[in-house]
Structure 1
Amino acid sequence: MTSGLWLDEKRFMEFGTRPLAGLLGEVAVAPASWGTLGLLPDPDPVLRERGDDVKVLEDLTADGKVCSSIQGRKIKTLNKRDYRFSPGKADGQEPTPEAKRLCDDLTRDLERVDLYALFSQVLDAPYYGFTPTEILWRRDGDRLRVRDLVPKPREWFVFDVDGALCFRGEDAIVGDKVHPFKMMVSRHFPTFKNPYGLRLLSRCLFPVAFKRGGIEFMMRFAEKFGMPWVVGEARPGALEPERRDMLASLSAMVRDAVAVVSGGSKVHIESVEGKATGGIHLSIVGYMDAAIAQVIQGQTLTQEIGSKGSYAASQTHYDVLTDYAEADQTLVVTGMNDLAWMYGQVNAPDALTPVFAYVEPEDLDKKATLGKKLYDLGARFKAPYFESFGLTSEEFSVAAVAAGPENGEAFAAGEDRFTPDQQAVERLVAEALKEGGQAVRAQAGRIVDLMERAESWEDAELLLLEAFPDLDNGDFQKTVEAAQVAADLLGRHAVRLETGRA
């Protein structure tokens, strides 16, 4: 019987009849019209519309808002200084000696590399699309060691239609493919159509341009209308020569604050008041600043709260910025793991490559808060718990927890604090608790035994219902009744003493 699969009512495909060679090819390829000389043009829509290249984006960092937004985002990742390489290993296994040696060699090679400066330039990838970093190798016996990691100008590099990095230099037309183990490329959201990555600064190009235009107009407005005006009223019947002399005197007054005018003329100073002082242009600048912060940091309130906002809103915006910083951290981790993979392929292809990761320090505040909650629930800690906070044995002592006093002792200790009548009530309560507790404990043993025998909650309910008629609650009931009667009689006696009818 032939085995296969019915595709529809009329078509039947036998298993094993279609060759698998077609799976090895690529169906969707880049059209030849995409690139010139095999190179893929930069598809950034903003730069393409203006006819500019990536170099124009560097001028945008001169804007104060752009610069502060970039710094605020990058510093959150750069301040994390706890990171390390670990030897590669399979799940559930220890790293091999070759993997340990590979990790140790890479770690020693990077000791002389300024990783802070390297990470800072890697974190420029979200703003410029990508960051190419050249790996400078040196030979050491039968191995190649990393001498330095140098980020290079991104305008020197292009991508071909296959997405491979090519070096073009500053003026060259044709690009040369770069060896895959020579460059470490960090890219921000690359796609098949756009291997250059998503550039955030190109989205800030127009907001910065509009903002600069608004500031320029505001400066002109402030120069013309921000200063007071010196207004002169010529006397009635003044001729043109006299008016010109008065104008000259007022012009000199602006510089010297002294003017001489003819009799009957008036001079007063006017200033622009009210809302017609260019506020609309200031609001345009504020809007563009908010747009820039929104593009770079995803929010606005961590830098400017203004006249609105709340703690909850600012906390939400801070969480958004934290998410962006974590994405930047992933960018660094990916780049360093790519470096580790290339290092392994060059020196030990059969060994598992080292793994780079940030080491998050333990949050001692959260741990202390949890410890306080556990302490309130009855937990008591020993010396190792306090040592986990970094304390030495000389810095703390663990006090022994004393056993709680019996109820009778507690009430007896307070006899000198009550009146004779009140003390009688306290003794009555102590005796009632003592006798009632004995009665409850006698029944508690039986209830615990029933619960241990039960296999489910339903079984426990049935066992308790069956055993309940046999439970001896007489002792507990008698104790409660005696306490109620004694308390009632004592209360009546106290009232009679207060009213003088005893």
Structure 2
Amino acid sequence: MGKKKNRSQAFAEDPRRNLPTNARSLIADVSNDITVPYFSGVLSPVDDTLIQQGNGKGLKIYDEIERDTHAGSMLQKRKGRLIARAWEVQPGGDRPIDKEAADFCEQRLRKLPFDQATEDMLDATLKGFSVLETVWDRDGKNIVPVALKDIDQRRIVFGRDWRPRLLTWTAITEGIELPERKFMVHRVGVKGNNPYGLGLGSSLFWPVLFKREGIAFWLHFLEKFAGPTVVGKTPYGTLSDEQGKLLQTLQRAQTASAITVPIGTDVEFLEASRSGSVTYEQFLEYWDRQISIAVTGETLTTQAGSAGGNRALGEVHQEELDTRADRDGDLASGTLKRDLLTWMVEYNFPGAAVPDVWRVRQKNEKAEAETRKTKAEAAESGAKALRTIVAESARFDDDAVAREYIVSFAITDNLSDRTIDAMVAARADFAGGAVTEEPDIFPGGDPAAFSASRLKKKR
């Protein structure tokens, strides 16, 4: 009596079985997501920093981050790291039409300010998303993009279908519906059903704010040191008018080289003083380091000359910056393929596979040279050891014994039987060659010991 098939086996072996209806659709969608508020069909951002600190400015508060000299520089450094790379278009398939579509897309991208468009897309790194409008035109029989214009994110909202809607004076809340193949949306930090993404602005807002407040306190402190406070002491009973005149005189003393005061008035200079080891400069450097870590993952720009700013650490930080640029490039490539390249192929090469566009990381020639040198040295050492083993196997007259001796070393594990048989047959030629050094790799010290141990096992 045959064994009964369990339910999972029966399901796997029956390709005709229909899928349940709920398996074909998304259940945890935006319509029942309690973490994403929406009103009148338009979704709202879920960025806590934007909600709590926006004060009606919306994403404009993140524009203020870029006005900080250090934060703006770090953001440009990260963008520039990617944009400085060369880019290439790769066909999406092996058919002639796939390659023709890839060549067409590459030619059209080279006629656009593609680097500028990429930089505009990377604004999503700070704000969570960016939007570029595509302007199309005809070029002979082809429909081609002639311009990519970035749109201020404050003019865009997203519907429950994640499609962008443009806010206008006549549709200030829900926005107007936009046509297909027109607006390219690039997102970063997307989690769950949040079409607005989550950029670095959410975390950079605080260090930039604390740094700005620290600078204000520092300026106030420097003002106290630059000009000491003048204190005038008047006798009891001095009239208020006289005290007012004296106050005006003392205020002019901040810039005057000499003043006159009534007899009996005592004038002193109150110098600002402070104690403690923490300075305002250290406070600001701390927040600069936090900004650097958040944006590029490195801190050498704020630690120049310190013990931590050595060459080895610099190489580690450079690798971290390259890794983040790789991530930015992968996300940008995905957006370009999903939107712009797909639209160009659909317009001009229906049925062709959509190509990919990549920003290629520059090769580290020094590291590659060192790797090649290490591999060459390892290969030379292995070949030398193998020659010695085969030469020593020539001491055995029996081919089977010689072969067993050769394969007893781990260095031959990756060799085929055909190769080993060839070495056994040519072992006499190896023995006649010049082997200047014999590494200590033989079991028992020499082949004679190997042969003796083998004979002992047979007995």
TM-score (norm 2): 0.70
Give distance in 1, aligned partners of 2:39 and 2:450: 91
Alignment of 1:87 with 2:91, yes or no, is yes
Give distance in 2, aligned partners of 1:132 and 1:188: 12
Alignment of 1:353 with 2:354, yes or no, is yes
Give distance in 2, aligned partners of 1:350 and 1:316: 45
Partner of 2:197: 197
User: Structure 1 residues 307 and 180, CA, compared in 2 at 3 Å: closer, same or farther?
Assistant: same
Q: Which amino acid aligns with 2:342?
A: W
Contact persistence 2:65–2:201 (CA under 8 A)? yes
Partner of 2:73: 68
**Quick check: 55-64 or 245-254, which moved more?**
245-254
Alignment of 1:294 with 2:242, yes or no, is no
Give distance in 1, aligned partners of 2:177 and 2:268: 75
Contact persistence 2:157–2:165 (CA under 8 A)? yes
Give distance in 2, aligned partners of 1:26 and 1:196: 20
Give distance in 2, aligned partners of 1:65 and 1:155: 24
Offset of residue 341 of structure 1: 2.3
Offset of residue 110 of structure 1: 2.0
Alignment of 1:78 with 2:83, yes or no, is yes
Q: Which amino acid aligns with 1:191?
A: K
Question: Superposition pairs for residues 217-296 of structure 1, below 5 Å?
Answer: 217-229=217-229, 240=238, 252-259=252-259, 271-275=271-275, 281-296=280-295
Q: Which runs of 5+ in 2 are unaligned?
A: 381-387, 410-441, 454-459
Partner of 2:427: none
Question: Superposition pairs for residues 483-502 of structure 1, below 5 Å?
Answer: none
Contact persistence 1:87–1:99 (CA under 8 A)? yes
Give distance in 1, aligned partners of 2:372 and 2:113: 40
User: Structure 1 residues 287 and 465, CA, compared in 2 at 3 Å: closer, same or farther?
Assistant: closer
Partner of 1:46: 49
Q: Secondary structure at the match of 1:181?
A: coil
Contact persistence 2:285–2:302 (CA under 8 A)? no
User: Structure 1 residues 83 and 212, CA, compared in 2 at 3 Å: closer, same or farther?
Assistant: same
Alignment of 1:101 with 2:104, yes or no, is no
Give distance in 1, aligned partners of 2:159 and 2:188: 18
Q: Which amino acid aligns with 2:66?
A: T
Contact persistence 2:329–2:358 (CA under 8 A)? no
Give distance in 2, aligned partners of 1:17 and 1:4: 17
Give distance in 1, aligned partners of 2:393 and 2:375: 28
Give distance in 2, aligned partners of 1:280 and 1:377: 54
Partner of 1:341: 342
**Quick check: 366-375 or 213-222, which moved more?**
366-375
Contact persistence 1:163–1:192 (CA under 8 A)? no
User: Structure 1 residues 315 and 367, CA, compared in 2 at 3 Å: closer, same or farther?
Assistant: closer
Offset of residue 70 of structure 1: 0.9
Q: Which amino acid aligns with 2:154?
A: E
User: Structure 1 residues 268 and 364, CA, compared in 2 at 3 Å: closer, same or farther?
Assistant: same
User: Structure 1 residues 461 and 205, CA, compared in 2 at 3 Å: closer, same or farther?
Assistant: closer
Query: Deviations 1:426-482 (Å, cap 9, x if unpaired)?
Result: xxxxxxxxxxxxxx9xx968438678822355599696337679xxxxxxxxxxxxx
The CA RMSD over aligned residues, in Å, is 4.3
Offset of residue 342 of structure 1: 2.5
Q: Secondary structure at the match of 1:77?
A: helix
Q: Secondary structure at the match of 2:130?
A: strand
User: Structure 1 residues 208 and 321, CA, compared in 2 at 3 Å: closer, same or farther?
Assistant: same
Partner of 1:454: 403
Give distance in 2, aligned partners of 1:299 and 1:286: 14
Contact persistence 1:302–1:317 (CA under 8 A)? no
Larger RCO (CA under 8 A, 6+ residues apart): 2
User: Structure 1 residues 240 and 72, CA, compared in 2 at 3 Å: closer, same or farther?
Assistant: same
User: Structure 1 residues 257 and 375, CA, compared in 2 at 3 Å: closer, same or farther?
Assistant: same
User: Structure 1 residues 74 and 62, CA, compared in 2 at 3 Å: closer, same or farther?
Assistant: same
Offset of residue 170 of structure 1: 5.8
TM-score (norm 1): 0.65
User: Structure 1 residues 170 and 107, CA, compared in 2 at 3 Å: closer, same or farther?
Assistant: farther
Query: Deviations 1:135-193 (Å, cap 9, x if unpaired)?
Result: 22223455322222222222222211232223333662333443442222211021332
Offset of residue 17 of structure 1: 11
Give distance in 2, aligned partners of 1:18 and 1:225: 84
Offset of residue 98 of structure 1: 1.6
- Please point out which of 429, 432, 448 is paired with 1:464: 448
Give distance in 1, aligned partners of 2:374 and 2:193: 54
User: Structure 1 residues 467 and 17, CA, compared in 2 at 3 Å: closer, same or farther?
Assistant: closer
User: Structure 1 residues 296 and 354, CA, compared in 2 at 3 Å: closer, same or farther?
Assistant: same
Q: Secondary structure at the match of 1:26?
A: coil
Question: Superposition pairs for residues 472-487 of structure 1, below 5 Å?
Answer: none
Contact persistence 1:252–1:258 (CA under 8 A)? no
Give distance in 2, aligned partners of 1:54 and 1:112: 32
Q: Which amino acid aligns with 2:403?
A: A
Give distance in 2, aligned partners of 1:280 and 1:246: 36
Give distance in 2, aligned partners of 1:283 and 1:377: 49
Mark the structure with the bigger radius of gyration: 1
Q: Which runs of 5+ in 1 are unaligned?
A: 90-94, 380-439, 470-502
